[in-house]
Structure 1
Amino acid sequence: MATTTAAFDVKFIEAIAYALNRKVVLPDEYYDRMTPIQRQQAVSIAGLGQTEQIKHVMGLVNDQLDSGGTFADFQKAVKDGDIDINLPRHRLDNIFRTNIQGAYGRGRWYQQQQNKDERPYLMRDGINDSRQRPEHRELDGIIRPIDDPFWDTHYPPDDFRCRCIARSLTKSQAEAKGITTDVSLPDINPQNGFGGTPAQYTDRMNKLVNDKIAELAITYYKQSDAILAARQRIEAAITVMLAQPVPELATLISEAQELIDEEGA
């Protein structure tokens, strides 16, 4: 019971929901015909000419996102797979890290939007080592309101294998660090079609996240030895609350878990 609970608790549901629901398209469509907003809801892999190949590789990436696996796990899964994927190690590394970071970034953005009344500012935070891009070093530390237009184009990750993230701050934290003024913003634009947030499809993201919470919650209770009454309660709550904000649904899941713990003690 304890092992299953831990596995359920650590899943980054917002990131998983985003990753699993992107449309797989061929490179020509993705790079030549899609707008930046459309690309946020799609995925492709340059060098792979068949949809099934792309689905296979992205399915393996998503498996590692769901399980917390490493690049080594992903690389082995590609090698052992039934579909021949003739891509060198550095390309696989780029695919893995770019898509994992992208999913985490979109999931993090979604969580921050849910909590923006308490933490209404974002700060770009990069890893200041020799591998950091000069442009990203210049953007490092910028603090702007969470709904500022700046984040429509500069929310990280915003390039291949980008390791930057956006951290949420309270008003007092932002003021203590120093909110970046308009005149202090560097004139740097995202490269390679990156940049932006899921803000253009917030309602769709709400449903994707709620659906994933429901799926994981039902699976969790079906696999456990939980009391039938508690399981029925959580399934009923999911049915009623599926279209409601995530925090309310999460509260009901938590209440059902407490009931199970109390009656199972």
Structure 2
Amino acid sequence: MAISYGSLPFAEQLSFFQRKVDLPTGAWTDIYTADHDYAFVVAGALNRGLLTDLRGAVEKSLINGSTLEQFRKDFDQVARKHGWQYQGERGWRTNVIWETNLRQSYNAGREAQMADPELRKRRPYAVYRHGDSAHPRPQHLAWNGTTLPLDDPWWSSHTPQNGWGCKCKKFMLSARDVERQGLTIGPAPAIEWEDRIIGQKSPGGPLTVRVPKGIDPGFEYAPGQSRLANAVPQLRTRDALSAPSAAPVPTAGLPNRQPSGPLPLPRQVPAKSLLPPKVSTSNAVTQFLSEFGATDIAPAVFRDVTGDALVIGRGMFTEAKTGAVTLPPQLKARELPLLVEAIRAPDEIWARLEWQPDQGKAVLRRRYLAHVQVKGKADPAVAVFDQGADDWTGTTGFVDDSEQYLEVLRLGVLLYRRTE
């Protein structure tokens, strides 16, 4: 059976592995830590045909749930076909290729599942469980039973697999699970860093890396997390939406418009939908993230009312050059909860193709519109979240002629409309 903790491979595991790119490498140190989220490599496999066939053998094993011995037969056929004189003893080499790829793809798939905000609400903790290795590592045994919130920074470097042949596991827990199993939440074990020299026999020469004590070099990362972080849309600084204005917006002659009927009437939301007037941008962003199950450290996957996935993370509000937390100029920190309304409970969602001259292609953009009446406010509020393939922009504000402001933004194809 495939190494998937007692079950056949699942969709997230397969997706993680199948989206990798074949990358020829001369030594295992050529690709390090999170780079494995994107590249399929076998040290010493420099021929692309050879690498493609090795990948096929691993994928066959993963999909069919076949054993290591079955993989070894496929491995032998590939090696003979390409005349590959690989380094290392056959038993050890095949075990490393097979087990590491299957186990890490499983772990990455589980991490993708754990990013679901609804699941994180029900099961916000994780426990470290030592595996059944024949020769257990003392540090891994010491971590057994460590229970922490899923967003604790400790997991960013200690999520299994934590070494060659490591069989440790990470399981989600609810508060009831913690109590029933007699566990204690935190604190995280202290991390003792050490310098390690790797690649002494590699063509590029030895390298010195810094890793937590107890973790093999190259395993000091959470499998799949870099993919999630890179999927967070970046703040769009060009062609930003204009701030809501009390001045009427002309709507005649608008292009790319689909007949859609009138906007839904503003729905009532409580006064607490606004944050305090002097709230800091950083605190407002943290609260925004929490509404989707994300944190300042860990992104989360949110599925909108149509079932489409959005990756929500702090990178949405991070200035690329300085790393500072920032907002679009037309969006106030205290009004960020209104943007939450647009994403979680939109009045309408529109899709349109937008030509990008710098990319030489059209990009599909989705626009989420919300029209609300905040208790105690005279004018209605509008909120707009506009996302492309890898960027976003947005705006919020109170405006007397809110229908006219939103009308000019109703472009493209109507994907969703809130029922009255």
| TM surpasses 0.5 | yes
Would the aligned equivalents of 1:138 and 1:186 in 2 still touch at CA under 8 Å?
no
Q: For the structure 1 residues 20 and 174, does the alpha-carbon distance in structure 2 shift closer, same or farther, using more than 3 Å as the test?
A: same
Amino acid at match of 1:244: A
Q: Deviation per CA, 1:160-200, whole angstroms, max 9, x where unpaired?
A: 22211101111232353111214x43534432211322233
Partner of 2:74: 77
Asked which structure has the greater CA Rg, the reply is 2
3-state SS of 2:121 partner: coil
Amino acid at match of 2:227: Y
State the shift of 1:29 in Å: 8.0
Partner of 2:186: 180
Report the Cα distance in structure 1 between the residues aligned to 2:35 and 2:157, rounded to whole angstroms.
14
3-state SS of 2:157 partner: helix
1:108 aligns with 2:110: yes
State the shift of 1:138 in Å: 2.1
- Name which of 213, 216, 228 aligns with 1:202: 228
Q: For the structure 1 residues 173 and 122, does the alpha-carbon distance in structure 2 shift closer, same or farther, using more than 3 Å as the test?
A: same
Report the Cα distance in structure 2 between the residues aligned to 1:204 and 1:67, rounded to whole angstroms.
30
Runs of 4+ in 1 over 6 A off after TM superposition: 203-206
Q: Deviation per CA, 1:188-241, whole angstroms, max 9, x where unpaired?
A: 4432211322233227779xxxxxxxxxxxxxxxxxxxxxxxxxxxxxxxxx96
1:62 aligns with 2:127: no
Report the Cα distance in structure 2 between the residues aligned to 1:29 and 1:85, rounded to whole angstroms.
15
Q: Superposition pairs for residues 1-20 of structure 1, below 5 Å?
A: 11-20=9-18
Would the aligned equivalents of 1:24 and 1:43 in 2 still touch at CA under 8 Å?
yes
Structure with the bigger RCO (C-alpha within 8 Å, sep 6+) is 1
3-state SS of 1:131 partner: coil
Q: For the structure 1 residues 200 and 127, does the alpha-carbon distance in structure 2 shift closer, same or farther, using more than 3 Å as the test?
A: closer
Partner of 1:38: 35
Partner of 2:267: none
Amino acid at match of 1:18: F
3-state SS of 1:18 partner: helix
1:123 aligns with 2:124: no
Would the aligned equivalents of 2:50 and 2:82 in 1 still touch at CA under 8 Å?
yes
3-state SS of 2:76 partner: helix
Report the Cα distance in structure 2 between the residues aligned to 1:24 and 1:42, rounded to whole angstroms.
6
Tell me which moved more, 144-153 or 185-194: 185-194
State the shift of 1:19 in Å: 0.9
Would the aligned equivalents of 1:15 and 1:103 in 2 still touch at CA under 8 Å?
yes
Tell me which moved more, 166-175 or 187-196: 187-196
3-state SS of 2:44 partner: coil
Tell me which moved more, 112-121 or 72-81: 72-81
Amino acid at match of 1:180: G
Tell me which moved more, 189-198 or 91-100: 189-198
Q: How high is the sequence identity, in percent, across the aligned residues?
A: 21
- Name which of 240, 244, 250 aligns with 2:309: 244
Amino acid at match of 2:12: E
Amino acid at match of 1:89: G
5+ unaligned residues in a row in structure 1: which ranges?
Answer: 1-8, 207-239, 246-265
Report the Cα distance in structure 2 between the residues aligned to 1:168 and 1:15, rounded to whole angstroms.
17
Q: Superposition pairs for residues 95-244 of structure 1, below 5 Å?
A: 95-114=97-116, 115-128=119-132, 130-175=134-179, 176-182=182-188, 184-185=189-190, 187=192, 188-189=212-213, 190-197=215-222, 198-202=224-228, 243-244=308-309
How many residue pairs match? The answer is: 203
Q: For the structure 1 residues 38 and 186, does the alpha-carbon distance in structure 2 shift closer, same or farther, using more than 3 Å as the test?
A: closer
Q: TM-score, normalised by structure 2?
A: 0.44
State the shift of 1:47 in Å: 2.8
Amino acid at match of 1:136: H
Would the aligned equivalents of 2:157 and 2:220 in 1 still touch at CA under 8 Å?
yes
5+ unaligned residues in a row in structure 2: which ranges?
Answer: 1-6, 193-211, 233-304, 311-420
State the shift of 1:149 in Å: 1.0
3-state SS of 1:166 partner: strand
3-state SS of 1:153 partner: helix
Q: Deviation per CA, 1:125-183, whole angstroms, max 9, x where unpaired?
A: 1225542222322222211111111111111112222211101111232353111214x
Q: Deviation per CA, 1:15-59, whole angstroms, max 9, x where unpaired?
A: 111111112212248624x55332322221123232322221122
Amino acid at match of 1:181: P
The structure with the greater share of residues assigned to helix is: 1
- Name which of 5, 23, 26 aligns with 1:25: 23
Report the Cα distance in structure 2 between the residues aligned to 1:106 and 1:205, rounded to whole angstroms.
15
The structure with the greater share of residues assigned to strand is: 2
Would the aligned equivalents of 1:78 and 1:85 in 2 still touch at CA under 8 Å?
no
3-state SS of 1:163 partner: coil
CA RMSD between the two structures? 2.9
